[in-house]
Amino acid sequence: MAKIPDVRRNIRDDIVAGRLGFGSRITIDELASRYGVSHMPIREALRELHGEGLVVIEPNRGARIRPIDISFVENFFDTRSALEVVLTRRAARMCSPAILAELLRMEGDLERFMERGDHAAVLVANRAFHQCIYEQAGNPEALAVVDRHWLLIAALWSRYGYGEERYVGVANDHRHIIFALESADPEAAGVLMTAHVLKAKQDMMRRMRAASPTVSLAS
């Protein structure tokens, strides 16, 4: 039997890829048969995906897949941006020399993965870099919301591509963010993180529009 996180990931990937019809009704029986698991892991996965906004659960009406369109992704990034900036500003007041050294090491690893063109490793290293910063803020509630969405972001980048032209910009942004944290400058750190997330949002939306000129991803 597949583990619950694997079921959740498989459903998420199928939604992002369009293999599960956007806006369509889904049943626990259908999904259990599709993924070869019992009802319990399906229920748990649907609850998690509801929290991510990918699945809509309606009382007495079951569940349906939420369309992934430009509006959804724009709102998604805007929400993340607000939380990530708050966490980064707080982290700027709390990063120890040991944490700063760790961030530099992590960024070095990330840039080596970029040089190799190892996209999967870049996504994992990028997540670890951001998590290390946000953990310093001492706000587990906000961190939980941000962390919950990382796999969705990875799935979206995997579908629409993460061009190597972004690598230089990401690395440059990270280096400047580290410098702002080292300077204990929450204002600069917040501004830099805002720009960093906005660049990702704009790039994702551009790629989505190029993949689907009608804007909606339901086709």
What are the tens digits of pLDDT across the range 143-180? 988 887 787 787 788 778 877 788 999 999 999 999 99
Are residue 190 and residue 160 in the same domain, yes or no?
yes
Residues 120, 117: Cα–Cα separation, whole Å: 9
Are residue 17 and residue 93 in the same domain, yes or no?
no
Structural domain of 18: 4-65
Are residue 79 and residue 150 in the same domain, yes or no?
yes
Are residue 102 and residue 51 in the same domain, yes or no?
no
- Is residue 219 very low, low, confident or very high in pLDDT (cuts 50, 70, 90)? very low
Tens-place pLDDT, residues 127-147: 999 999 999 999 999 998 888
Burial track 61-97 (b if 16+ CB lie within 10 A, e otherwise): eebbbbbbbeebbeebbeebbebbbbbbbbbbeebee
Domain containing residue 201: CATH number: 1.20.120.530
Beta bridge partners of 65: 55
Are residue 53 and residue 154 in the same domain, yes or no?
no
Are residue 85 and residue 153 in the same domain, yes or no?
yes
Cα dihedral 214→69→208→199 (10° resolution): 130
Tens-place pLDDT, residues 90-127: 999 999 999 999 999 999 999 999 999 998 899 889 99
Tens-place pLDDT, residues 196-218: 999 999 999 999 888 876 544 44
Domain-embedded: residue 216 = no
Q: pTM of the prediction?
A: 0.80
Are residue 75 and residue 153 in the same domain, yes or no?
yes
Are residue 173 and residue 198 in the same domain, yes or no?
yes
- Closest to 205 measured CA to CA, from 119, 110, 78: 78
Give the pLDDT mean for 45-66: 86
Burial class (CB in 10 A: 0-12, 13-18, 19+), 29: exposed
Residues 92, 84: Cα–Cα separation, whole Å: 12
Domain-embedded: residue 51 = yes
pLDDT of residue 213: 60
- Of 25, 48, 65, the one marking the end of a domain is 65
Are residue 94 and residue 127 in the same domain, yes or no?
yes
Are residue 11 and residue 96 in the same domain, yes or no?
no
Total domains in the fold of the chain: 2
Are residue 179 and residue 121 in the same domain, yes or no?
yes
Are residue 18 and residue 98 in the same domain, yes or no?
no
Answer with the residue of higher pLDDT: 104 or 1. Answer: 104
- Closest to 205 measured CA to CA, from 81, 90, 74: 74
Domain containing residue 29: CATH number: 1.10.10.10
Domain-embedded: residue 82 = yes
